[in-house]
Homo-oligomer: A and B are copies of this chain.
Amino acid sequence: MHPRFAPVELAFAGPATPIPADVEPLRVRFVHADGDTITVPGFWDGDDRYLVRFAPEQEGAWSWESESHAPELDARTGGFDVGPAAPGEHGPVRVAGTYHFAHADGTPFRPVGATAYNWLHQEEPLFTETVDAVAGAGMNKLRFMVFPQAGGYVEHFPELLPFERDADGGWDVTRPVPAFFRRLDEAVRTLGAAGIQAEVLIYNAYDYGRFGLDGLTEEQDAAYLRYLVARLSAFPNVWWSLCNEFDQLDRPDERWDAAGLRLAEIDPHDHPRSIHNLVRLFDHNRPWVTHASLQLGQATEDFGRASLFRDAYRKPVVLDEIKYEGDVPDRWGHLSAEQLVHQFWITTVSGCYASHGESFVIPSGSLHIVEGGPFTGESPARLGFLRGILDEVDGVGLDPVDNWWDDAFVAGVQGSVYVQYLGREAPGEWVFRLPIGWRGVQLEAGDRFEVDVIDTWHMTVAPVGRVFEIDEVAKNDAWARAAAPVALPAGEAIALRIRRVA
């Protein structure tokens, strides 16, 4: 009995002469007993070996049949039964509740991501140290590039590269290097086992001509994409990002858009798809984009900003890169840990998500955002703590409650739980007040709430220990006038969680 969500891998012996990898060597149609059908492309894995990977989401009986121009790979059949998922495996993550994410089994997923662009190309111990650091901090997503990185702060250049060379010394995408891609498979599996979503950065804006992998033609890029998707799509923890800082490359937007549409068409498991920018945002309204992954240096520095992207895009907003905790002179890389954590909480009450990165110059001369390794900084633990608070939300996610105007910028699941962030230097007390959203859940006199005081830096949650009862309701606000204010540790970075109780 095969567990739901886990990849089924079918292996075939094909022709002795490998089928060039810009051709789909075979495809397999998987048919569920209820009639649902999914067609999955296969790929060459060296020698005469061809694989097809499929992660069934439905329990029950599946049958399959292959189709190929190669007789060895055509008209093969088989079947398997799928049972409950393994404990802890919730399936692939997709968009839920318009602005949030959830696993296929409905379990909410709140991305609190890390960044190590060149992680895949590191040797041990860096490779495993990175996974341990991210998982140990409680972060649950890692952005990393398939192609190796060049440019500033890069100190290590891999020998294992994705394709064979052609006669002119260029890249032959029809001959992928199986060892390279098996290593990538294993990297994705390793992240999955550690509870980390693998956000695969497909194309590379940081080649700077060193490897020439940014110089592939559009057709070569497409062949590589098909190969990559055929290999990785069945891993439940995959997210696709076309590129980090796409606007650094001199390519028309139409080429990126065509790649995104292609990806949406060929990925049988419908993983999240995005494309990230340096300064000029991609048009995240395009239909293949599942969530707006974007960078805008200012967007999380204050309240009332990032949430505007939700209003415009009507998709989840993930600010992948909000500047980094570190000590480099570049303006993107010297946030204090306190400032980065502060920005994450602003992001949270804006109903958005963000990603972390660390940029202290380490002995190798590199940075964590390049090569990974253990964390140097102090923000990761606080972000894991934030992730824990988010995971206690009973609902798909936090949305700004009174989006039109609310000086307090409260987010929540209306009527159930509210989160308010008081900034890096909270006042000495807080008077109980909740916003009421337009056409939202109406609060009424008699509704009862408990309040937790969250120290976002010291990572404590202190229940106030008394019940607050609403006694005054206006059009956009509700108060508990009879209740004494909540005493706060003035000057600390405080958030409040207000939960409805019976």
Contacts and interface: CB of A to CB of B under 8 A. Distances in A.
A313 interface: yes
A36 to B, nearest CB: 29
Given A331-B405, A438-B278, A476-B331, A304 B298 contact: yes
Q: Which of A285, A308, A323 has the most CB of B within 10 A?
A: A308
Interface in A281-338: 281, 283-285, 292, 295-299, 301-302, 304-306, 308-309, 311-314, 323, 331
A297 B404 contact: yes
Given A301-B304, A302-B304, A311 B405 contact: no
Interface in A368-412: 403-406
Q: Which of A323, A403, A405, A475 has the most CB of B within 10 A?
A: A405
Given A298-B304, A305-B305, A311-B296, A279 B406 contact: no
Interface in A179-228: none
A309 B281 CA distance: 11
Given A302-B302, A304-B298, A305-B305, A312 B281 contact: yes
**A contact residues, range:** 20 to 34
Contacts of A404: 278-279, 295-298
A215 to B, nearest CB: 21
A305 B298 CA distance: 9
A52 B103 CA distance: 59
Contact of A309 (B297, B308, B331, B403): B308
In the assembly, how many copies of this chain are there? 2
Contacts of A296: 308, 311, 403-405
A187 to B, nearest CB: 31
Nearest to A286: B285
A475 to B, nearest CB: 8
A406 to B, nearest CB: 7
A478 to B, nearest CB: 15
Given A296-B311, A312-B309, A403 B301 contact: no
Interface in A11-27: none
A292 B311 CA distance: 12
A252 to B, nearest CB: 15
A323 B404 CA distance: 11
B406 A298 contact: yes
10 contacts: A278-B438, A285-B285, A292-B312, A297-B404, A297-B405, A298-B405, A299-B304, A308-B308, A312-B312, A331-B476
Given A279-B438, A302-B304, 16 more contacts: A281-B312, A283-B285, A285-B285, A285-B312, A296-B308, A296-B311, A296-B403, A296-B404, A296-B405, A298-B404, A298-B405, A298-B406, A301-B304, A306-B308, A331-B405, A331-B475
